Structure 1
């Protein structure tokens, strides 16, 4: 048992250290949410977003090496913004950018590795932190999702408007505040823009996304 106690922290530390920069060029899959409209995502050194009265998301499953990540950093820019909305209102919650962090218990993460976001969302154990640039809420306000109450929350970071900002979030802290307890495995990321309710437009991009 002594050797096991010594090895386990080393394994856990190695797993946490494996997280790092997230490729915005590879491994993403566009997921439509409407038959009639969708955003345009361009993947490369940065992730560009064009949304014209539309909504959709782009999804990236994560490797096991990233499952232990408990924080994230990124930069984002908005050149054209939707108007301020109520991010807790179903059917009226347009926003410039949302970045989703999707968690599952580790035993289920192993079984569902590589699954798409729609399949994961049907799992009662999934928990999603969604960080948003949009609305008119105070920074750090946690809003229950009107689409998946109890499983998904929106964390307001920036009110609607243009500009460029860098962010650093504590996923473990925000998870505990939203759901209680500790997060499981971080199994995937998604990015969306939503401009269909206000029939407006978004021009935005994300860069330097890093997990730690």
Structure 2
């Protein structure tokens, strides 16, 4: 049974209470993994991860490859300030330094992409690569991988001041549930308690630097 992790101190749940905790909170909006809503961006013409879009779950298989899957959120969800999901890893990359460009393989990364509302409206429909190059973008990247402490906020080797890596799980296998306070983490990462519009979410797996293999999945993704 997955364990629950939250940055604010709270007891670990078990049994029936844990199962209940994984249900959608009141007011939460499910973010389904529908093939038509997600767009996969490869960084190499010849290779990329294999994504399986299966409604409430997404499988990720990576064999010395890297790519990212992105979906925009509807304006009705732009005000979301928390998120939850469960994920599992059956085959893991080795521990890496997530601050090192070109040496930062990780099993899974979940990106929450924010923009000021004015820019959010102007950039509706933009690709993830364009969004991540916008000066106004801010991205919280929650990671399962690396050799860092749980809850560490790290500089991104690719996004500079536009993005921060938040470590949830070190490299390794297992299954866990996450319950995330996006607003609190945004304040820790960027020194501001006022996130912009949550315009989209992305999921990636990265095994190209270590030429290793990932078998992983994420399910029951929701924002609130």
1:133 corresponds to 2:144: yes
Q: Counterparts of 1:34 and 1:141 in 2: how far apart (Å)?
A: 30
Match of 2:31 in 1: 22
1:106 to 104, 107, 117: 117
Match of 2:23 in 1: none
Match of 2:15 in 1: none
Q: Is the 8 A contact 1:19 1:65 kept in 2?
A: no
Q: Is the 8 A contact 1:96 1:193 kept in 2?
A: yes
Structure 2 CA distance for partners of 1:113 and 1:18, relative to 1, 3 Å: farther
Q: Counterparts of 1:65 and 1:119 in 2: how far apart (Å)?
A: 22
Give, in angstroms, the shift of residue 18 of structure 1.
Answer: 6.3
Q: Is the 8 A contact 1:51 1:194 kept in 2?
A: yes
Report how many aligned residue pairs link the two structures: 196
Q: CA RMSD in A?
A: 1.1
Give, in angstroms, the shift of residue 121 of structure 1.
Answer: 1.6
Match of 1:185 in 2: 197
**Which runs of structure 1 show a deviation greater than 3 angstroms over 4 or more consecutive aligned residues?**
none
Q: Is the 8 A contact 1:85 1:92 kept in 2?
A: yes
- 1:51-200 mapped onto 2 (5 Å cutoff): 51-181=62-192, 182-200=194-212
- TM-score, normalization: structure 1? 0.90
Q: Counterparts of 1:36 and 1:43 in 2: how far apart (Å)?
A: 21
Q: Is the 8 A contact 1:18 1:66 kept in 2?
A: no
* 1:72-131 CA-partner distances (Å, limit 9, x unpaired): 000000000000000010000000000000000001101111211111122100000000
Unaligned runs of 5+ in 1: 1-16
1:40 corresponds to 2:50: yes
Match of 1:7 in 2: none
1:209 corresponds to 2:218: no
Q: Counterparts of 1:97 and 1:187 in 2: how far apart (Å)?
A: 20
Q: Counterparts of 1:49 and 1:123 in 2: how far apart (Å)?
A: 27
Q: Which of structures 1 and 2 has the bigger CA Rg?
A: 1
After TM superposition, the structure 1 stretch with the greater mean CA deviation from structure 2, 110-119 or 75-84, is 110-119
- TM-score, normalization: structure 2? 0.85
